[in-house]
Structure 1
Amino acid sequence: MPEHIPQEPGEFAGRTALVTGAGQGIGAAVATALAARGAHVVATDRDAHGIDELAAAARDTSHRITPRVMDVTDPTAVTTVIADIVRDHGALDLLVNVAGILRTAPVAELTDADWADTFAVNTTGVFHTSRAAAAHMTARGSGCIVTVASNAAGIPRTGMAAYAASKAAATMFTKCLGLEIARSGVRCNVVAPGSTDTAMQRALWPEGQSEAPAAVIAGDPETYRTGIPLGRIADPQDIAEAVVFLASDRARHITLQELYVDGGATLR
């Protein structure tokens, strides 16, 4: 008989997950989805407000979400949080890298600070968390790391050079890490969202323009941007479901992969 592979809703029961950037948007959706399937989620963000609200909402259910302020650009803070998780819960089973920022400008107008800040969070932050988590996971011979990058990592975007480059770097870093630690039983994968209804996406829309979502779906030849073939902007839950699958035992033979969740926008 084939070995049984656990399914939802309790497929992550007994496991501990760390989700960065969990204060809003995709990070909050990932934290909620993992907790709903039985994981004890440590939800981190550099701002306490969003993760405190997330944990408060979970208290009304049987879900377990513990908020923890953490700045992924601070390696000491990251190491401390992960050490605390291992001490308090016995293990760190899952890491989901979601924390990210977006600074838009043509390259000629992009400042040194914008470039450095973008890479500090989107790339170096992934390095800090993944390095610390991988050290624990490889020692115990199991674990899973999922990095939420962007479809911009695989297709040029005007005005988004820093963001696209930082996400491309985080993507290749995650794959290289996954190759190095695969024999230890640790899997590393990437989810690459397209346009998703988050605060980051809405910040790109002209204020007061109710037509903005339709324009995103239609695309823009002037900026060489294709539309979205499926005809909708993603919900954060759409991205969370992809993350949950890759983190689950249903994906136990999948590593070093990059899953685009963009409604076909990059035509891949």
Structure 2
Amino acid sequence: MNVDKTEKKVALVTGAAGGIGEAVVRALAADGAAVAMVDRNLEPLEELAKELRAVGQVAEAYPADVTNSADVDAVVDAVEQQLGGIQYLVNGAGVLRLGKAKALTDQDWATTFAVNTSGVFFMSRAVVNRMVERGSGAIVTIASNAAGTARVDMSAYSASKAASTMFTKVLGLEVARYGIRCNVVAPGSTDTPMLTSLWDDGSAARSSIDGVPGAFRVGIPMGRLAQPSHIADAVLFLLSDRASHITMHDLTVDGGASLGH
């Protein structure tokens, strides 16, 4: 890959091939950042990069597995060599494995934590060590309102997101002295393939909005799902200079589904 270093601010986004991650990529690129898009799925990454470059934006595809620390270190090195120093990191990669806690398999648990928690750790560690040398930077981890609100059938997901939330806050405490901010965005039900996978009969949106009493879900007071762009807006705010005195914060974007918890 031959890419000239850019004068633009460099942002690295994981989980960039679809859903919220893709929305964050689009928002950052439109805002003038050079975006390094990281995901295991190369084909959609390349298609997205081609689309953004066609309108004069800077976006490059970097296939990598965030659960592999060697892969992560290599891709961060490549981004810094090719695009320049990373100013923004968005941890967007995530997986969902559903099932009662007593029935989850070892693999369900391990895979969920490998992506949702270890992936956040590996990528944050690799990037923040370079940010420390430069004395600036901003990190946002996309977690979930399920990190603080119990959800039936989501024990592994909720636990992994709670772990990555607290990791990000502790990291923010440790690196604040270097001018680096670390925050969390916690979406609720968002119109993505991850949500539609929750119900086989296509009722995911209605069930999310109305609630499911038998699963102790109260629904969404605002009466609609979030769009990925709503989450991207929150991410961009926390990365921006408008949030220059905000760190270790957990911003919930769920239309009131967790009742302000």
Normalising by structure 2, we get a TM-score of: 0.95
Tell me if 1:81 matches 2:75.
yes
* In structure 2, distance between residues paired with 1:204 and 1:89: 38
Specify the alignment match of 1:195 in structure 2: 189
Give the drift of 1:96.
0.1
Cα deviation for residue 90 of structure 1 reads 2.8
Q: Quote the residue 1:228 is aligned against.
A: 220
Unmatched runs of 5 consecutive residues or more in structure 2: 1-6
Deviation per CA, 1:122-181, whole angstroms, max 9, x where unpaired?
A: 000000000010100011100010000000001000100000000000000000000000
59-68 vs 173-182, greater mean Cα deviation: 59-68
Alignment of 1:52-63 (within 5 A): 52-63=46-57
**Number of aligned residues:** 254
TM-score norm. by structure 1 comes to 0.93
Query: Helix, strand or coil: the match of 2:170?
Result: helix
Q: Which among 118, 134, 146 is matched to residue 152 of structure 1?
A: 146
- The 1-side partners of 2:37 and 2:78 are apart by 13
Who is 1:218 aligned against?
210
Q: State the 1:194 CA deviation.
A: 0.2
**1:64 counterpart residue number:** 58
**Native 8 Å contact 2:195 2:204 kept in 1:** no
The 10-residue stretch of structure 1 (42-51 or 256-265) with the greater mean CA deviation from structure 2: 42-51
Q: Give percent identity, aligned residues only.
A: 54
Q: 2:110 aligns with which of 107, 111, 116?
A: 116
How far apart are 1:205 and its partner, in Å? 2.1
| 1:260 to 2:252 alignment | yes
RMSD: 1.0
For residues 47 and 161 of structure 2, the distance between their equivalents in structure 1, rounded to whole angstroms, comes to: 28
Q: Which deviations, in whole Å up to 9, do the C-alpha atoms of 1:47-103 show, x marking residues without a partner?
A: 112211211211221111101101000101111111122222331100000000000
Point out 4+ residue stretches in structure 1 off by more than 4 angstroms.
Answer: none
Structure 1 residue 215 displacement after superposition: 2.0
- 2:149 corresponds to which letter in structure 1? I
Q: d(CA) in 2 for partners of 1:89 and 1:240?
A: 22
Looking at structure 1, the residues matched to 59 and 8 of structure 2 have their Cα atoms a distance apart, in angstroms, of 13
Q: Which runs of 5+ in 1 are unaligned?
A: 1-12
1:242 paired residue number: 234
Following the alignment from structure 2 to structure 1, what is the Cα–Cα distance between the partners of residues 50 and 174? 38
